[in-house]
Amino acid sequence: MEIPKRLGKYKIEELLGHGSMGAVLRAVQKTLGRTVALKVLPPELAEEDPVKKKRFATEAKITARLFHPSIPTVYHMGRSKGMAYIAMQFIEGEPLDDAVKKGIGIPELVKVFAQVASALAIAHEHGVIHRDLKPGNIQLDREGNAHLLDFGIAKDEEGRDLTEHGVIVGSPLYMSPEQARGETVDGRSDIFSLGCAMYRLLTGEKPFKAENKRELLLDRMKLHRLPDHRLPPPVHKIAPHVPRPLSRIIEKCMKPSREHRYQSAAELYEDLETLRVLLASEEPEKDLSRFSFLVSTKLPFSKILGPLIAALLVLLSGIFFLLHQRSESLRPQPATFESE
């Protein structure tokens, strides 16, 4: 792709990266003196693949309605010199996986994970499922804050699926079992992917190992039936420096059945944010041991609600029985006569 010197009102400064969906450029909006990131779809890609053209436009519309500090703001969408482009907030920094290789402390990483969970909570609240959450799609800015990128294969509440029908999309290493099986995904699918990303970043190892992509997908489809030795060991077993509560949070995110994972990104955010605060407390070891127990014993709401309803019904039945017995005892008895 030939890089133009200008696109519309934007002066191109450098190429930041490129992939199957085109290129990302750093540019300056001269009228405001604002540096932006330009996502560009070259005309040849748009012509040879109409799906990419539609996906490109829909990504901008979906991302534009998500307002969160960890989701880059979309400023403008346009076309110039035959190229479609999206102007969005420029995040100066580096991908999270690159930053981790250079060294980041556990408290800082927990803060980043909490920010991503918070961004997902907002996206899910608007009916948007990311479907491609991985370390490479999380950008860390100069202040150490996370930004969730690339909603290119997202699915939104209006049913706009930014992918081809019948095609499994996403990154197999971080993909949830239901996504690998081609089933309908929801927010808990993103939670699984975030769990896999946290696992990889903290241990430096792939959570699931396979000879090739096909084997990886097949294993993911039947994750609930895999023997224990094929399942990822707990994070703290590989990386002993990782606090036990964080290991349990990740384990819960990566449950094969979505019913056993966190039921919302907001719930996951609460645990991560609590952990962040505890790590900064005066007695972190004491507080963490208590929190670790709470994480491991918390059940999905549906698992708690069922027994509560059953217990309530038993209690109400008992109360009704006692009231009935009391009313019977208070009822006037008919007169009886004895004949001599």
| Cross-sheet strand order for the sheet of 6-7 | 6-7, 10-19, 22-29, 34-41, 83-89, 74-80
Beta bridge partners of 26: 14, 37
Q: By C-alpha distance, which of 243, 310, 301, 300 is closest to 272?
A: 243
The one catalytic residue among 98, 132, 186, 219: 132
Spatial neighbors of 292 by CB under 8 A, at least 6 apart, are: 243, 244, 245, 248
Assess whether 132 carries a catalytic annotation. yes
Q: Where are the beta strands (DSSP E) in 160-301?
A: none
Three-class SS of residue 42? coil
- By three-state DSSP, how is residue 10 classified? strand
Can you count the helices (H) and strands (E) in the chain? 12, 9
What does the block give as tokens for 120? Answer: 């997902």
Residue type, 27: A
| 7 Cβ contact partners less than 8 Å away, ≥ 6 residues apart | 25, 27, 38, 40, 78, 80, 81, 83, 85
Alpha-carbon span 228 to 224, nearest angstrom: 10
Please state, in angstroms and rounded to a whole number, the distance separating the CA atoms of residues 19 and 224: 34
Q: Rounded to an integer, what distance in angstroms lies between the CA atom of residue 173 and that of residue 232?
A: 12
- The residues annotated with a catalytic role in the active site are 132
